[in-house]
Amino acid sequence: MSTGIVHIGVGGFHRAHQAMVVDDLRALGLADGWAICGVGVLPGDRRMRDVLRQQGFRYTLVLKHPDGRQSAREITSITDYLFAPDDPQAVIEAMASPQTRIVSLTITEGGYHVDRATGQFDATDARIVADLVPEAVPQTAFGLITEALRRRRERGVIPFTVLSCDNIQGNGEVCRRMLSAFATLKDPELGAWIGTAVCFPNSMVDRITPATTDADRTAIAARFGVDDAWPVVAEPFFQWVIEDDFPAGRPPFEAAGVQMVTDVEPYELMKLRLLNASHQGLCYFGRLCGYHFVHEAAQDPLIARLLRRYMDSEATPTLHPVPGVDLDRYKDTLIERFANPHVRDTIARLCADSSDRIPTWLLPVVRHQLATGGPVRLSAAIVASWARYTEGVDEKGEPIDVVDRLRDRVMAHATRQRDTPLAFLHQRDLFGDLASNARFTADYLWALDSLIRRGAQATLADL
Ligand SMILES: NC(=O)c1ccc[n+]([C@@H]2O[C@H](COP(=O)([O-])OP(=O)(O)OC[C@H]3O[C@@H](n4cnc5c(N)ncnc54)[C@H](O)[C@@H]3O)[C@@H](O)[C@H]2O)c1
Ligand SMILES: O=P(O)(O)OC[C@@H](O)[C@@H](O)[C@H](O)[C@H](O)CO
């Protein structure tokens, strides 16, 4: 079945965002055959394949407003799903098909294999190593895409556009560099061709989408009479800004409210440094204060004050003017969105994989401010709150389950900070040379000491 779009990483976010846009176009009669073939690459995606197949690939999207209103709709834009571990050739052929014009991705920050210390491609991941063996059947997103592009090139078919929808600054450009570096290791000529002939538009994506819970399933069945094994719940806010660079063709996204632009950078800096970095500002302080839901932390006046002051005094000076956006209003809206009690986003979701998030969202703000003489006190406190959180015990002595692909290492450094206060910053691949920056470390050491001796609330009060 031809769909035009193959999407790798069908999680909650894709189903609340891109799939809704394509569904809107279908409802408007503007889809002109465009639909989505989902692809799962990781073993854990088997369940999504089974549920979607069982439900004819349909599912329910529930939007929860701050005032308690809810709306439910059925999304029908995903019309097929392929599970790569069972049949990688089917995935490759779906992407190699001339009918496929876009391969889109939500494979998380980790899916791009960026070496933090160098910014270059990290070829050490075991599955990447396996994919690099000549004649190996690909297992990774990069392996599958590279082989599909190789076949298209060999068959004289125009390359598809690769559309990254992950929360990474310059997501398209990062994808181009990493994918072509991977392909170069397999075949230098192919790698060079991917780096030049394939388009990778950057995009900014936004809609807070927590993981679906059993409570969601039960509540949706009771409220809407819908029996859905894997519905998705999200906030009503939606934004998608994409660079318009789709030589193989694209759906009329703008008809469904997507902003098509020539340069996405101002939008993505605004979103990543205000929304995503603030999420990190909220989650460690929030967990140390004993909160488990994002709205509980966002409704704490001291946490809300920290976020607003971080946004105003540290993040905003690093942004470019954003066409058509009132930044003050945008920042107000963020606090309102975080405080929406019905979305029930969890602090645990925001704390996961922090070693991917802090270096990509918060530390660029710190570096900019250090270079221009601006303040870093609040950013340093947020880093210190991560370090304190990573000790793995909260202020009531209860264990914290630190979920991070670098878990053992980050926890080992956090444990050492009781004797060596800068120990956490001595992870050069995460922090570079920040441990030797006197201005940053003065603020960091004050916050860490205060967090350890006096706790999160007292620290917040004095920030
Ligand atoms: N949830 C949100 O609020 C939100 C909002 C904006 C952007 N995003 C972006 O979407 C991504 C996914 O979020 P989600 O909420 O859908 O998460 P999720 O856990 O529901 O789904 C993640 C999907 O990515 C796949 N994946 C993970 N690592 C992979 C890898 N190395 N290779 C291939 N596939 C991989 C998983 O198998 C799964 O299908 C985020 O990391 C972020 O970049 C999420
Ligand atoms: O999904 P991640 O890991 O990139 O980031 C966690 C959250 O900050 C993120 O999912 C936000 O909820 C989202 O970016 C809102 O659009």
d(CA 152, CA 154): 5
The pick from 6, 7, 8, 13 for probing ligand 1's pocket by mutation, whose C-beta has the most ligand atoms within 8 angstroms, reads 13
Q: Is the distance from the beta carbon of residue 44 to the nearest atom of ligand 1 less than 6 Å?
A: yes
CATH number belonging to domain 265-462: 1.10.1040.10
d(CA 8, CA 106): 6
460 C-alpha to ligand 1 centroid (Å):
31
Q: What is the pLDDT of residue 2?
A: 76
d(CA 405, CA 154): 37
Structure letter (DSSP) for residue 107: -
For 75, phi then psi, to 5°, come to -100, 130
The alpha-helical segments, DSSP class H, found in 97-170 are: 126-131, 141-155
The answer to whether 81 touches 48, Cβ cutoff 8 Å, is yes
Q: Is the pLDDT of residue 21 over 90?
A: yes
Q: Is the distance from the beta carbon of residue 9 to the nearest atom of ligand 1 less than 6 Å?
A: yes
AA letter at 402 = V
Q: What is the pLDDT of residue 249?
A: 97
105 C-alpha to ligand 1 centroid (Å):
9
Nearest protein CA to atom 32 of ligand 1, as residue? 111
Q: Is the pLDDT of residue 1 over 70?
A: no
CB count, 10 Å around CB of 147? 24
The answer to whether 207 touches 16, Cβ cutoff 8 Å, is yes
Q: Phi-psi bin for 438: left (phi > 0), alpha (psi -120 to 50), beta? A: alpha
List beta partners, residue 70: 64
The domain spans of the chain are 4-261, 265-462
Nearest protein CA to atom 17 of ligand 1, as residue? 11
Q: Is the dihedral of CA 129, 132, 136, 137 positive or negative?
A: positive
Enclosing H/E stretch for 344: none
Tokens 């945008």 belong to residue: 330
**4-261 CATH choice from 1.10.1370.30, 3.40.1080.10, 3.40.50.720, 2.40.10.10:** 3.40.50.720
Q: Given the CA of residue 280, which atom of ligand 2 is nearest to it?
A: 8
Tokens 């995009």 belong to residue: 203
Per-residue pLDDT of 328-354, as tens digits, reads: 999 999 999 999 999 999 999 999 999
Mean pLDDT of 179-196: 98
Mean pLDDT of 82-90: 98
Q: Whole-prediction pTM value?
A: 0.96
The answer to whether 220 touches 228, Cβ cutoff 8 Å, is yes
Per-residue pLDDT of 398-440, as tens digits, reads: 999 999 999 999 999 999 999 999 999 999 999 999 999 999 9
Q: What is the pLDDT confidence band of residue 186, given thresholds at 50, 70 and 90? A: very high
Q: What is the pLDDT confidence band of residue 22, given thresholds at 50, 70 and 90? A: very high
Q: Is the distance from the beta carbon of residue 337 to the nearest atom of ligand 2 less than 6 Å?
A: no
The answer to whether 71 touches 226, Cβ cutoff 8 Å, is no
Q: Given the CA of residue 352, which atom of ligand 2 is nearest to it?
A: 3
Q: Report which bound ligand comes closest to the CA of 349.
A: 2
Q: What is the pLDDT of residue 384?
A: 98
Average predicted confidence (pLDDT) for the chain: 97
Q: HSE of 19 in the Cβ direction (CA atoms, 13 Å)?
A: 32
Residue 368: Cβ-neighbour burial (10 angstroms; 0-12, 13-18, 19+) = middle
d(CA 108, CA 42): 12
Q: HSE of 407 in the Cβ direction (CA atoms, 13 Å)?
A: 9
3-state secondary structure of 448: helix
Q: Is the pLDDT of residue 392 over 80?
A: yes
Q: Which residue, 249, 251, 260, 252, is CA-closest to 101?
A: 249
Per-residue pLDDT of 261-317, as tens digits, reads: 999 999 999 999 999 999 999 999 999 999 999 999 999 999 999 999 999 999 999
Pairing status of strand 102-105 against strand 161-164: parallel
d(CA 435, CA 429): 12
Q: What is the pLDDT confidence band of residue 322, given thresholds at 50, 70 and 90? A: very high
Per-residue pLDDT of 101-134, as tens digits, reads: 999 999 999 999 999 888 999 999 999 999 999 9
